Each structure stands twice: as structure tokens, then as C-alpha cells.
Structure 1
Amino acid sequence: MRTLLSFCYLIILTSFISCGEKTQNKTEDNAVISEQDTTEIMDSVNNKVVLFYGNSLTAGMGLDPNEAFPALIQEKLDTLGMEYKVINAGLSGETSASGKNRVSWVLKQKVDVFILELGANDGLRGIPLSETKKNLQDIIDTVKSENPDTVIILAGMQIPPNMGPEYSAEFKNLFPQLATLNNLMLIPFLLENVAGIPELNQPDGIHPTAEGQRIIARNIWPIIQKAISE
């Protein structure tokens, strides 16, 4: 049943394309933090840094930024007395190509844990998988080049089958392949236990509600915790 619901959700996700295009001219407004704000944060933070780098799912589109799962991970770290600063560098409408172009300025200081959540918008636009894979690999290479000690976590995503079963299957497999190739930690499916459940998604059927964000945070916390321990 969960699989069926997930595919229903993924079919709804096709509207991601139009959503991204409508917000393209408001990209900076939709960002959780601006470049200037990020610079100020990074200049003032002495703690270790966990940086979430993704699209509107990471940004918490439609919600208060404090309800997005990166903020909830910060709350967990604070509760445990762990001296880490979480930075939400999610940007609505982000593709792997645009993510590759802006990754350098979010690495202005040492990042200890880097969570890469990009690719969904590529798949929904039918961008060749070879391009998406190359862009994600370039982002990974940039992070490793800036700081070889950074622990990188790759967040997996799925796309609807109406893009073609072969394309959809290859897209799903792209993330574990990259994780294996680069020896990265993997979140198999970011929206596990949230996708396809109406009450856990906003009226657009795309973006999780505050409760959906809490489930995502609980699901990914063990991986974040393991990354920190390493």
C-alpha cells in the first residue's frame, strides 16, 4: 500500500516543474537564507557546521523556516548539547545545474556534514540522467576539494513513472550508484513515510506539512547522528 501511495504522490510531483518555473524569478525571495545572511552566519559561527543543500523540500516551502526539517535537526542537536550549527541552504526550484553553480559560496567556511538533496527537478523536467549525474558528481567533487574531511550525505529521490519506466528506474538508481561510487552515506528516499499521505502534505500535494517535516527529521536523524560520530 505504501508503494502505491508513493507512486500516487510521485505522479502529483509532476507539477513541481511548473512550480519551479513560476518561482524562477523569485528564487532569491524563496531562499531560506540569502547569500549575505549565509556569509554573516558563517563568519560568526564557531561551532561545527551541518549544511543542508537542496531545493524547496529542504527550504520548507510553504512553512515557517523553523518548521523545516533542517531546523528540527538543529533542535535535536541543541537538546543533546551537541555544538553544531545547522545551515539551511535550500532554494526553491533548484536543479543540479544551478546547484553546481552556487555551491562554492556556501562553502566559505569549513563544513563538517554536507547533505546533498538535489535532482528531483531534473528528473521531472526530463533532463538527461547523464547530465544530472555529472552535476551531482561535480558538487560532490567541489565539496571534497574544499575540505576532504567533510562527511557527505546524499538524499535519494524518486520521480513519477509517467516519465517512462526505464527513465524513472534509472533515476531512482542514480543516487545509490553515486553514493557507492563516492563512498557516501545515503538517505534512500527523503520522503519515506510522507509521500502519498494527504494529511502529511500541503494542499499542493507536493510539499510536506509541518508534521511531514517532523517525520522526515526523525527518519534522517540516525544518519545525521552517524555522520557526526564519524
Structure 2
Amino acid sequence: MLLAGAGAGAFAAAARPATILVVGDSLSAEYGIARGSGWVALLGERLAREKIAASVVNASISGDTTSGGRSRLPALLQQHRPTHVVIELGGNDALRGLPLAMTRENLVQMTRAARAAGAQVVIVGMQVPPNYGRRYGDDFAALFGSVAKAEQAALVPFLLAGVADAAEADTLFQADRIHPTAQAHPRMLANVWPVLAPLLKQR
């Protein structure tokens, strides 16, 4: 069963090998940790163990925003022709104090571009620390779900669930208190996998 509203593009995607394109920021670009230890690399290993025929393209860039991802996405879609696009962006928008309306619009346009190219979309949610203010924090966290619902995309509610809110959170972050350690990345994949895997098995 395909996502509701996926349209003819999703049927076309079923005719080609599965390719998962991850468009993210430093949380997906293995910032500060050994290459091959980030959640995207671990995703590739999980696919192999599960014998799911899918390749992974990590197009994540440390420091990237939703505006940067939106500008990069058309070329990435053309080059890699993904069947699935994972959008992990937005955290740097908040760190830079960018308007929530801009973040929302960029996520909407990225989702629509990916779907128009025949890909199913997973939006990865993020949250900000309490010092940003409760209202801003709540509105920021909610926008990922609202975009996913409006655009009929799949949603990972919070990439750092079980990391940022863990009892041992101090041990799961690098010295900057922003970027997770390698120890945290299996938990991050554990948040993504239950959302992404069913989409792969629908093909």
C-alpha cells in the first residue's frame, strides 16, 4: 500500500531500485565522530542485515538549514533519482533564529519536490532546549508534524528521543552539548527505522 495521495510518481518509483536520500545537517553528517559511526551509516548496515535491497545516499552538510536543503534538493533528486527522501533539517534554523514560517515553507516545498520526483518522504522532527522559551519550543516542535500531515509524508517525531531526554544525556553529547556522540547514533537510528522500514517494504 502506498501513502495516500502519493500518485503516479510513487508507482514509477516502484519500478527502480530503492535509493534512500538523506538530506540533513550535522546530526546526519557525522560531525565530530568517526566516519561510519553515524546513524545514516548504521542505516546502511541495518538494510544489509535485514536483506532489504536499498542503497543510501547521505547528502547531509554540517550547518545546513532548510533553505540550504531546499536549494540543493533539485540537483540531488536529478542525480540520484531516490525512491525515498529523508529530510532532517530545521535545527540550524532555530539556532539562527530564523522565522518558523520560513522553516515550514521550506519543508513543504522540499516535500513536494521529492514527491513530484516519485519519492516517498520522511520528515524528521527536532526540538529545541527549554531556554528558547516554551511557546517557541512548542511551535517549533509542532511544525514538523503539521507539515507531514498536510503533505502526507511520514514523520519521525523527534530524532533525539532517548538521547536528549535520557537520564544519561550528559554522556550522549559531545562537549558542545549540541552534537551527539557515536554512542547515541544507534538510538537515533532506532527512532528513524520504525518509520522508514515500512515504506521500504511497501515497494
Scaled by the length of structure 1, the TM-score of the pair is: 0.76
Kindly provide the CA deviation profile for residues 191-225 of structure 1, in whole angstroms up to 9, marking residues without a partner as x: 00111501112222211111100111123212121
Structure 2 unmatched runs, 5+: 1-15
1:193 counterpart residue number: 162
Letter in 2 for 1:222: P
Q: Tell me the SS of whatever aligns to 1:67.
A: coil
Partner Cα separation in structure 2 for residue 193 and residue 163 of structure 1: 20
- Which aligned runs of 4 or more in structure 1 are off by greater than 6 angstroms? none
- Structure with bigger helix share is 1
Q: CA RMSD in A?
A: 1.4
Structure 2 residue 96 is the aligned partner of structure 1 residue 130? no
Q: How does 1:5-154 map to 2 (within 5 A)?
A: 47-107=17-77, 108-147=79-118, 150-154=119-123
Letter in 1 for 2:199: A
Letter in 1 for 2:112: D
Q: How many residues align?
A: 183
Query: 2:25, 2:64 within 8 Å by CA — same for their partners in 1?
Result: yes
Structure 2 residue 187 is the aligned partner of structure 1 residue 215? yes
Structure 1 unmatched runs, 5+: 1-45
1:202 counterpart residue number: 174
Scaled by the length of structure 2, the TM-score of the pair is: 0.85
Partner Cα separation in structure 2 for residue 156 and residue 218 of structure 1: 14
Q: Identity, % of aligned pairs? A: 34
2:130 counterpart residue number: 161
Query: 1:156, 1:175 within 8 Å by CA — same for their partners in 2?
Result: yes
Q: CA deviation at 1:65?
A: 2.6
